[in-house]
Structure formats: structure tokens, C-alpha cells
Amino acid sequence: MDKDTLVEVQDLKTYFFTDEGVVKAVDGVDFSIKKGKTLCVVGESGCGKSITARSIMRLIDPPGRIVEGSIKYVNGEGVEIDLTALSPKGQEIRKIRGMEISMIFQEPMSSLSPVHTIGEQIRESIRLHLGLSKEAAKERTIEVLKEVGIPKAEERYDNYPFQLSGGMRQRVMIAMALACKSRLLIADEPTTALDVTTQANILDLIQGLQKEYEMSVMFITHDLGVVAEIADDAVVMYLGKVVERGPVDAIFHDPKHPYLISLLRSIPQLTAGKMERLDSIRGMVPHPFNRPSGCPFHPRCDRAIKGRCDAAAPPRVILGPGREVSCFLYEEGRS
């Protein structure tokens, strides 16, 4: 791993073994998260984004499990650890989870206890991870509540989650990550349930704090507008696979994979004519038990090559540093 990399995911496979069959939710995924940078993972619902994030946190519940691959992480002491080798319930991952790597979800209520005040929850998290006294932890809690823009932080300390708006609850979750000085924040669609103004505020907050604390961010979204705003690098996923990845400028200005090109064409353009129709991607994401043969995108792809795209998995083609695409159109001699 190079010195700028915080997390390197290699050939990660996370499968779910159900009575109906095996769901290959994540099927051979590779990417890296750089120190102090934002990586956006983008794709439609069901493409494996959240399971990839939960695999990093080792939060996969049975019947799911990581069956192959590695997730290398450089901890606060500079030691490289393969997170897949740790017991999901062991001491070592518990120390990393919540302290070094934090995760926020679309609905913060799912991570906050409804029967404890927000102050108590952040304070206890600080005490557990940083070993501070009760008084010092309370002081630090109020400090971080202020840092994430919660007004009257001293009073809010005694509020229960249900007394706060969705945007405020999301700020509380970010405060929790900050309080423990997390090195990586994994945000799983954290702004999807919020109105646009609150969404913009939360994105600004994450970006501002990231710069200040040099935190790395893995941001999961289906919204390419969010990617354009905050990403340094982007990974595009489809049916458990990375179909394209690279620096965000290249992703937007020189997209290669037909799926990414279709996604970009389906964004409304301010410059479009009044009556211009918005492109949509033909068909639906297939059911996980009916995974297409060959390239998983071939039933929806306008450029699919008969007898090739439906018969074999497309090659991974390296286009430049940190930039690659999985598609037959770019194999040697064709592009």
C-alpha cells in the first residue's frame, strides 16, 4: 500500500447464503480510499454499495459473510491490518469501529438509542474510546455539538433523539464520529432523507470538518450531483461489481462504461431545451437470483456485443493511474 492510502480493498466478495440460493452482493470489488480524501461510491439501489461499506466495518450479519478478498487498513499507529482477518465481534475490530472508522446512515434513528439523551450517547462513546472522565467527556461532547453547528449545545445535550429534526440527528451522528477523532467516516446515503437545504448544509459540514481534521470519507450515494460536489475519486458499482473507477474529473468528463454514460445522461441539464426528454436506463436492475451471464449489464446495454458480452465476464482495463473500466469495448485492440 502506498503512503497516501488509508484503506485498500482487494477482490472483496461478500455473499449471502439463503435457502433460495446464494446472493453475490459484493463480487470481487477493488478500490482504495486515500488519506484525507473523499471517495464516492455510486450506483442504483441493490448494486452492493452498502454491503461493501458494512463489510469494511465488519457489520455483515448471517446469512451473509465475507468469502474472499482483503480490506487493508493503516491504523492510527501506522500498522497495516487486514480487517477481513479480524473476528467481527472481537476486541480489535471494536476498537477500530466507532473510534477509528465511524459510519453514519440514512436514518440516524437506527443508530441512536431512543431511551438515552444525545449528550449521554456521545459522552459514553467518548469515555469508551478515549478513556476520559465523565466531566471531561461531557465538556468534549458539548464542544463537538457546537462544532457540528447544533445551536444551544448545552441545552441540546439533554435532548432525546426524537426531539431533534432529521438534519440535527444527522449532525449528532457526525459529532459522534468527530468526538472520537475518526480517521475514516463512512456515510451511507446520509442526506437522502433530508430536504435539499439541509442536505447542502450537511455536505458543507462534512467537507469543512474533513479539511480541518484531515479525515477520509467514503460517501455512498445514488446522486451524481452529490458526487460532483464532494468527491475526489469515484467508484461506480453495478450488481456487486466495480464497473468503472477513477478521479472524479475523469468520471464526469470522460466516462467510459455504458452504465456510467447512461447514468450521466439521466441527470437533468439546466441547458436542456424546455421540451427535451430525459434519458433513462432501459430495464431494471435484475433480481439478485437472476444474475445475467457474462457482463451483468448486458441486458440493458445498447452497445452489448452478441456472443461476447453475454458469454464471458468483461476484462478490467487500466486506463491510467487509479482509473479503470470493466468492459469489452476497451480491451486491447478494440478502442
Binding-site ranges for ligand SF4 (CB under 6 A): 257-258, 295, 297-298, 301, 303-305, 309, 314, 327-329
- Minimum CB separation of residue 286 from ligand SF4 in Å reads 13
Pairwise CA distance, residues 61 & 63, whole Å? 6
Nearest of 324, 287, 325 to residue 303 by alpha carbon: 325
- Minimum CB separation of residue 250 from ligand SF4 in Å reads 17
180 vs 301, beta carbon nearer ligand SF4:
301
130 vs 329, beta carbon nearer ligand SF4:
329
272 vs 311, beta carbon nearer ligand SF4:
311
Is there a cis peptide before residue 63, judged by omega within 30 degrees of 0?
yes
DSSP letters for 166-200 = HHHHHHHHHHHHHHTT-SEEEEESTTTTS-HHHHH
User: Which positions ≥6 away from 124 have C-beta within 8 Å?
Assistant: 116, 137
- Minimum CB separation of residue 2 from ligand SF4 in Å reads 30
136 vs 329, beta carbon nearer ligand SF4:
329
Neighbours of 79 (CB within 10 A): 8
Pairwise CA distance, residues 73 & 80, whole Å? 6
282 vs 303, beta carbon nearer ligand SF4:
303
Residue 80 C-alpha cell reads as 497495516
- Minimum CB separation of residue 262 from ligand SF4 in Å reads 10
For 90, which DSSP code?
A: S
9 vs 327, beta carbon nearer ligand SF4:
327
8 Å CB contact between 217 and 210 = yes
- Minimum CB separation of residue 305 from ligand SF4 in Å reads 6
108 vs 240, beta carbon nearer ligand SF4:
240
- Minimum CB separation of residue 309 from ligand SF4 in Å reads 3
Nearest of 237, 198, 238 to residue 218 by alpha carbon: 237
- Minimum CB separation of residue 44 from ligand SF4 in Å reads 15
163 vs 293, beta carbon nearer ligand SF4:
293
Helix (H, G, I), strand (E, B) or coil at 58: coil
Residues 215-251 as b/e (b if ≥16 CB within 10 A, e otherwise) read bbbbbbbbbbebbeebbbbbbbbbbbbbbbbbbbebb
- Minimum CB separation of residue 218 from ligand SF4 in Å reads 25
- Minimum CB separation of residue 87 from ligand SF4 in Å reads 38
88 vs 292, beta carbon nearer ligand SF4:
292
List alpha helices for 86-194, DSSP H: 91-96, 118-130, 134-147, 153-156, 166-179
